[in-house]
């Protein structure tokens, strides 16, 4: 049975057992057919390329040479079955929440007092981003930690991403997802838990932290929403640096100005017109090109990987994520999350009114370096703040060891109340 | 009967294509990215000598077959989650277009139409520039260079050629005649794709002056909409002595204080007249909702690999350019469905017109090179320009915004003509060629005396 059939079978089970069993949790396995993989390779091989960029750097987008190296590796050496086997070695489930089948990985620690934790991926990501942190977090004694560092780990696929159902109606923005996550954790029997995220995961986690779920003890973010509204607006309109900023606030402000002006054209496109990107959905290399271009530092990191200098992300890491998106045909549905966020006017980088305890890790290659002063204002209960020396936007994926240590340190003070 | 003659014509062109393929060896070395697509006359490729070579295009049959194969093998996303156009070009629109494109659409028709026109290539500033050049039979015809925009091409201007060059056959007088030059922007259609940075609107504007002088025109006028307006306006600002005046259907006229208010998203200034307020409201929607594609192409054109690899992807991206009525532009949607949608007529725009333009982009693989023109563009097309030579402005009701006379007068210091029309949108020359031609005639009439 391939994955599409599996999801259909789950739907059938759900229908056959009636509405009362809607909170049932079903095991899930990934198995795409050989034909689908062969078709993917055929399409990559027959890619029609644009001409080379007219510059010698990344200032026009991911360079043709990088994408051509990626495509060559994808067709000749890359093996989807490896990550498929890794995924199937993990406990995967689906359960219906608020009318959608939500896919998630759920790994319980062998340690009794493990702290339940839900970690949310971002864009252009998926559960693939989190695979490296599963064992270190759930089995800390095998990874330099103590039993007291253990987590029970839940890693869901955002609606419209990977193996979660694609919404067919509007409304699945960060608010609704955050409520679904709280529902998921309770359904799994967790009456106290913590949450973590970067990118969209950070936004969803911030929103959970603002919704006032009594079960949520605290959150950790590696892309904290910290910009005060006036600063955020000034950056969006590209005005000069507001007066009275400290040195690190000024740096963060200028990073945000650059981001809005030059860095997230792709975000505006998906936020306003996701349904104009048929060409990305129809082309494996199209998805790869679009995904590689999240931000300058990540693009440089990934480009180096395809030049044979892998640090943090490997070629397989990158292609596992792109291939998952291709096989589930979820580029457009994933892009639509931006549209939902634009509709509901959720701030990407701004303060969201989080009331629960918050831990913040600042990785040096993130879009912006969140200053402690703004983190303190955004999160009245800031329990942890740390600046790291290595790592970027995809912290869990790039630097799983550092990332794991951050989570352990961040939530340590909350465990007594758990 | 008609079917039979089609087959015969295809065979004839097939023969020409075979000759073209025979030349690919050398052409491939010179122009590797388009060796399959363009039949250059290799005897005349001397670089930068000012030589003008005649140009014909014949797409190899294999390319057309491959295009249809790709269209029919499109991997579709799911339907949008809304019942309107607020997320982009609706799936049903694209599937309707793809169904026709992948079966009955015939590129050979437009190809024959193009090849019946005098087309040329000449090297300017190191780049091969393609253009259509139709001289009027009328002796005192006014030389005019008309520049297309994005997502357009020379296809936008085909309907006005006869109207402008042969006015006596179309309700005009001999004194309305123009000698017409319609170039393809660098990286668009049959013009060469720049290989190095620097080919933006400013350089294109300078190249157009060289082109007109090379054609022997010591006095001429220029016209443009969309990006073509940008090029035309920059020509006017460069004010070469040969350029008598410009006409635009896309004036850059937003006064600085209004531009600032729009950028900050503030409420409109209170002292606006009714037509200024209307323009303000149109621009507010435009800047908030309809310019993502421009930001994407202006910052990261090379990220759009999918447009080069997917015909339907290219079609959707091009279709999603809005106008004052909607996004996609309302007349384009009406043309795709062959009936009036949301009350906005297609005018003279047909489904074939729309696909001719998209197919030209596909066959020349110019989605990314055309997008790059935005990256190269450092001029704001909307904000008030500062043009001192005579300028004529036509305001079509479905344009992205209807520029009020009060704003236009401040941006174009010698405004010789201003008119608001009752019909027509962003693609004025394409949608309303007759009205458009009358505007161009009227716009430049005072200069002829």
State the count of interchain CB pairs (< 8 A) between A and B: 187
CA distances from A32 to A11, A19, A126, A317, B73 (A): 18, 29, 17, 18, 20
Q: Does A328 reside within a domain?
A: yes
| DSSP-based three-state secondary structure for B221 | strand
Same domain, B215 and B161: yes
Phi, psi of B193 (to 5 degrees): -85, 125
Whether A199 sits among the annotated catalytic residues: the reply is yes
Residues 6+ apart with CB under 8 A from A416: none
Q: What would the mean pLDDT of A57-70 be, rounded to a whole number?
A: 98
Residues 6+ apart with CB under 8 A from A360: A220, A221, A222, A224, A226, A370, A375, A379, A382, A384, A385, A386
Share of chain A above pLDDT 70, in %: 94
> Which burial class, exposed, middle or buried, applies to A292 when counting CB atoms under 10 A from its CB (0-12, 13-18, 19+)?
buried
- Indicate whether A381 pLDDT > 60: yes
| DSSP-based three-state secondary structure for A140 | helix
CA distances from A304 to A44, A124, A284, B415 (A): 21, 18, 20, 55
| Structural element, H or E, at residue B364 | helix B351-364
Contacts of B263 in chain A (CB under 8 A): 237-238
| Structural element, H or E, at residue B69 | helix B61-72
Q: Does B270 reside within a domain?
A: yes
Q: Does B359 reside within a domain?
A: yes
**Domain tally for chain A?**
1
Same domain, B332 and B414: no
Q: Does A239 reside within a domain?
A: no
Whether A338 sits among the annotated catalytic residues: the reply is yes
DSSP H helices in B215-290 = 226-238, 256-264, 274-289
Same domain, B409 and B337: no
Which pLDDT does position B263 carry in this prediction?
A: 87
Q: Does B354 reside within a domain?
A: yes
Q: Say if the Cβ atoms of B87 and A331 lie within 8 Å.
A: no
Q: Which of B348, B376, B404 is a domain's end point?
A: B376
- Indicate whether A366 pLDDT > 70: yes
| Distance from C-alpha of A146 to C-alpha of A284, rounded to nearest angstrom | 43
Order of strands across the sheet that contains B243-248: B52-54, B119-124, B127-134, B178-183, B142-147, B220-224, B243-248, B387-395, B412-420
The count of other CB atoms within 10 Å of the CB of residue B81 is 21
Give the closest of B75, B89, B303 to A282, CB-based: B75
Whether A393 sits among the annotated catalytic residues: the reply is yes
Q: Which of B376, B397, B420 is a domain's end point?
A: B376
**Could you list the residue range(s) of the whole structural domain that residue A10 is in?**
3-226+264-417
Closest CA to A148 of A158, A140, A156: A140
| Distance from C-alpha of B167 to C-alpha of B391, rounded to nearest angstrom | 22
Same domain, B248 and B264: no
Chain mean pLDDT for chain A: 95
Tokens of A103: 């896919």
| Distance from C-alpha of B177 to C-alpha of B429, rounded to nearest angstrom | 17
**Which CATH number is B431's domain given?**
3.40.50.1820
CA atoms within 13 A on the CB side of B255: 16
Give the closest of A50, A265, A266 to B305, CB-based: A50
Which pLDDT does position B36 carry in this prediction?
A: 34
Tokens of B44: 């005349």
Q: What would the mean pLDDT of A118-127 be, rounded to a whole number?
A: 98
The count of other CB atoms within 10 Å of the CB of residue A396 is 29
Which pLDDT does position A187 carry in this prediction?
A: 97
Same domain, B247 and B146: yes
Chain B closest-CA separation from residue A194 CA (Å): 32
Q: Does B148 reside within a domain?
A: yes
| Distance from C-alpha of B280 to C-alpha of B366, rounded to nearest angstrom | 34
Q: Does A113 reside within a domain?
A: yes
**Domain tally for chain B?**
2
Question: Which A residues, 163 through 182, put their C-beta within 8 Å of a C-beta on chain B?
Answer: 166-170
Q: Does A354 reside within a domain?
A: yes
Chain A closest-CA separation from residue B10 CA (Å): 25
Q: What would the mean pLDDT of A315-338 be, rounded to a whole number?
A: 98
Same domain, B245 and B137: yes
Q: Say if the Cβ atoms of A276 and B316 lie within 8 Å.
A: yes
**Could you list the residue range(s) of the whole structural domain that residue B329 is in?**
85-100+260-376
Q: Say if the Cβ atoms of A289 and B306 lie within 8 Å.
A: yes
Closest CA to A164 of A99, A243, A236: A99
Same domain, B183 and B94: no
**Which CATH number is A199's domain given?**
3.40.50.1820
Q: Say if the Cβ atoms of A286 and B305 lie within 8 Å.
A: yes
For chain B, which residues score pLDDT lower than 70? 1-48, 449
Number of H helices, E strands in chain A: 18, 9
Chain A closest-CA separation from residue B293 CA (Å): 6
Q: Does B327 reside within a domain?
A: yes
| Distance from C-alpha of B61 to C-alpha of A81, rounded to nearest angstrom | 39
Bridge partners of residue A191, in order along the sequence? none
Q: Does A235 reside within a domain?
A: no
Which pLDDT does position A417 carry in this prediction?
A: 56
Same domain, B345 and B198: no
The predicted model scores a pTM of 0.92
Contacts of A49 in chain B (CB under 8 A): 305, 308-309
Q: Which of B318, B343, B376 is a domain's end point?
A: B376
Report CA torsion sign: A284, A285, A290, A295: positive
The total number of residues shown for chain B amounts to: 449
Q: Does B54 reside within a domain?
A: no
Phi, psi of B311 (to 5 degrees): -60, -45
Chain A closest-CA separation from residue B215 CA (Å): 29
CA distances from B76 to A71, B80, B190 (A): 21, 11, 30
Phi, psi of B290 (to 5 degrees): -115, 10
Options A199, A206, A320, A365, the catalytic residue: A199
Q: Say if the Cβ atoms of B320 and A64 lie within 8 Å.
A: no
Phi, psi of B186 (to 5 degrees): -55, 130
Q: Does A142 reside within a domain?
A: yes
Q: Say if the Cβ atoms of B77 and A167 lie within 8 Å.
A: no
Q: Does A246 touch chain B (CB under 8 A)?
A: no
CA distances from B42 to A50, A225, B24, B51, B235 (A): 24, 60, 10, 12, 32
- Indicate whether A10 pLDDT > 80: no
Q: What is the pLDDT of residues A225-272, one digit of tens each?
A: 999 999 999 999 887 889 999 999 999 999 999 999 999 999 999 999
Q: What would the mean pLDDT of A273-289 be, rounded to a whole number?
A: 96
Res. A7 pLDDT band, cuts 50 70 90 = low
Q: Say if the Cβ atoms of B194 and A54 lie within 8 Å.
A: yes
| Distance from C-alpha of A362 to C-alpha of A369, rounded to nearest angstrom | 6
| Distance from C-alpha of B196 to C-alpha of A93, rounded to nearest angstrom | 51
The count of other CB atoms within 10 Å of the CB of residue A30 is 22
Q: Does A45 reside within a domain?
A: yes
Contacts of B367 in chain A (CB under 8 A): 50
Whether the Cβ atoms of residue A193 and residue A185 lie closer than 8 Å to each other: yes
Same domain, B224 and B273: no
The better pLDDT of the pair A2, A359 is held by A359
Q: Does A398 reside within a domain?
A: yes
Which pLDDT does position B17 carry in this prediction?
A: 33
Q: Does A262 touch chain B (CB under 8 A)?
A: yes
Options A78, A290, A338, A368, the catalytic residue: A338
């Amino acid at each position: 049975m391939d994955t599409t059939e599996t999801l259909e079978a789950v739907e059938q089970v759900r229908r056959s057992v009636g509405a009362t069993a809607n909170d049932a949790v079903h095991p899930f396995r990934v198995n795409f057919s050989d034909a689908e993989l062969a078709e993917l390779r055929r399409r990559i091989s027959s890619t029609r390329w644009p001409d080379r960029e007219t510059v010698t750097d990344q200032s026009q987008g991911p360079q043709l040479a990088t994408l051509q190296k990626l495509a060559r590796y994808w067709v000749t050496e890359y093996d989807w079955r490896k990550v498929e086997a890794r995924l199937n070695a993990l406990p995967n489930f689906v359960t219906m929440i608020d009318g959608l089948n939500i896919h998630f990985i759920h790994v319980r620690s062998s340690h009794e007092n493990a702290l339940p934790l839900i970690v949310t991926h971002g864009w252009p990501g998926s559960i693939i981003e989190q695979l490296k942190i599963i064992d270190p977090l759930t089995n800390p004694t095998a990874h330099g930690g103590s039993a007291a560092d253990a987590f029970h780990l839940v890693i869901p696929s955002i609606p419209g991403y990977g193996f979660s159902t694609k919404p067919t109606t509007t409304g699945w923005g960060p608010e609704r997802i955050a409520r679904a996550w709280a529902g998921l954790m309770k359904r799994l029997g967790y009456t106290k838990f913590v949450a973590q995220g970067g990118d969209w995961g950070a936004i969803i986690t911030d929103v959970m932290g603002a919704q006032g779920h009594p079960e949520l003890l605290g959150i950790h973010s590696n892309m904290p929403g910290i910009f005060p509204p006036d600063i955020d607006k000034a950056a969006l309109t590209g005005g000069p640096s507001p007066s009275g900023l400290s040195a690190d606030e000024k740096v963060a402000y200028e990073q945000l100005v650059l981001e809005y002006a030059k860095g997230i054209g792709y975000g505006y496109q998906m936020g306003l017109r996701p349904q104009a990107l048929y060409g990305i959905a129809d082309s494996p290399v199209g998805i790869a090109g679009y995904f590689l271009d999240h931000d300058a530092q990540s693009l440089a990191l990934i480009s180096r990987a395809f030049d044979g200098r892998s640090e943090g992300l490997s070629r397989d890491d990158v292609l596992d994520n792109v291939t998952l998106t291709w096989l589930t045909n979820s580029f457009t549905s994933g892009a639509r999350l931006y549209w939902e966020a634009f509709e509901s006017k959720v701030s990407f980088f701004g303060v969201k009114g989080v009331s629960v305890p918050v831990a913040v890790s600042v990785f040096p290659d993130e879009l912006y370096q969140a200053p402690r002063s703004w983190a303190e204002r955004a999160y009245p209960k800031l329990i942890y703040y740390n600046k790291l020396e290595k790592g970027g936007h995809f912290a869990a994926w790039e630097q799983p060891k550092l990332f794991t240590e951050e989570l352990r340190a961040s939530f340590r003070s909350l465990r007594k109340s758990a | 009967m008609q079917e039979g003659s089609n087959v015969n014509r295809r065979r004839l062109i097939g023969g020409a294509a075979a000759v073209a393929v025979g030349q690919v060896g050398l052409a491939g070395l010179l122009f590797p990215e388009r060796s399959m697509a363009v039949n250059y006359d290799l005897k005349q490729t001397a670089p930068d000598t000012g030589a003008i070579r005649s140009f014909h295009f014949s797409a190899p049959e294999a390319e057309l077959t491959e295009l249809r194969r790709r269209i029919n093998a499109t991997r579709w996303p799911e339907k949008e989650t809304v019942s309107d156009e607020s997320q982009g070009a609706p799936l049903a629109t694209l599937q309707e277009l793809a169904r026709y494109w992948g079966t009955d659409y015939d590129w050979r028709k437009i190809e024959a139409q193009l090849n019946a026109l005098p087309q040329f290539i000449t090297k300017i500033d190191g780049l091969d520039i393609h253009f259509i050049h139709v001289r009027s039979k009328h002796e005192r015809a006014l030389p005019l260079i008309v520049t297309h925009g994005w997502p357009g091409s020379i296809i936008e201007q085909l309907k006005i050629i006869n109207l402008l060059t042969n006015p006596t056959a179309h309700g005009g007088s001999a004194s309305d005649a123009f000698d017409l030059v319609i170039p393809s922007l660098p990286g668009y259609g049959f013009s060469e794709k720049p290989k190095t940075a620097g080919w933006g609107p400013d350089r294109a504007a300078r190249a157009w002056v060289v082109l007109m002088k090379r054609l022997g025109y010591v006095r001429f006028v220029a016209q443009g909409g969309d990006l073509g307006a940008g090029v035309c306006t920059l020509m006017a600002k460069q004010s070469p002595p040969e350029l008598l005046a410009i006409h635009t259907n896309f004036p850059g006229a937003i006064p600085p204080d209004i531009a600032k208010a729009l950028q900050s998203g503030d409420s409109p200034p209170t002292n606006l007249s009714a037509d200024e307020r209307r323009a303000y409201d149109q621009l507010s929607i435009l800047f908030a909702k309809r310019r993502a594609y421009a930001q994407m192409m202006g910052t990261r054109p090379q990220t759009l690999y999918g447009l080069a690899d997917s015909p339907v992807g290219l079609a959707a991206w091009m279709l999603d350019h809005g106008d004052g009525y909607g996004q996609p532009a309302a007349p384009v949607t009406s043309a795709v469905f062959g009936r009036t949608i949301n009350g906005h007529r297609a005018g003279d725009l047909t489904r074939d017109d729309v696909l001719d333009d998209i197919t030209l982009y596909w066959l020349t693989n110019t989605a990314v090179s055309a997008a790059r023109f935005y990256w190269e563009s450092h001029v704001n097309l909307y904000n008030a320009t500062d043009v001192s030579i005579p300028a004529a402005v036509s305001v079509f009701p479905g344009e992205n915004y209807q520029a009020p006379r009060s704003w236009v007068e401040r941006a174009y210091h010698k405004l010789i003509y201003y008119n608001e029309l009752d019909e027509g949108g962003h693609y004025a020359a394409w949608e309303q060629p007759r009205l458009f031609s009358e505007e161009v005639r009227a716009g430049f009439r005072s200069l002829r005396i």
